[in-house]
Amino acid sequence: MHKNMLKKEKWTLSFNPRLKHIVVKEAVKNGIYPVNLLEQLVRERFNPYGHSDIGDSGSYTRKIRKISKLKSDNIFLKEIHEWQKSNFS
Q: DSSP letters along 29-51, please?
A: HHTS-HHHHHHHHHHHHH-TT-G
Reported as a single tens digit per residue, the pLDDT across 15-43 is 788 989 999 999 999 899 998 999 888 88
Instruction: State the helix-helix crossing angle for 34-46 and 17-30, rounded to 10 degrees.
Output: 100
pLDDT of residue 53: 64
Range with the lowest mean pLDDT among 5-9, 15-19, 33-37, 84-88?
A: 5-9
Query: What's the whole-model pTM score?
Result: 0.46
Closest CA to 23 of 42, 10, 49, 7: 42
Alpha carbon distance 38, 22 (integer Å):
11
pLDDT of residue 88: 64
Alpha carbon distance 47, 49 (integer Å):
6
Ranges of each domain in the chain: 14-88
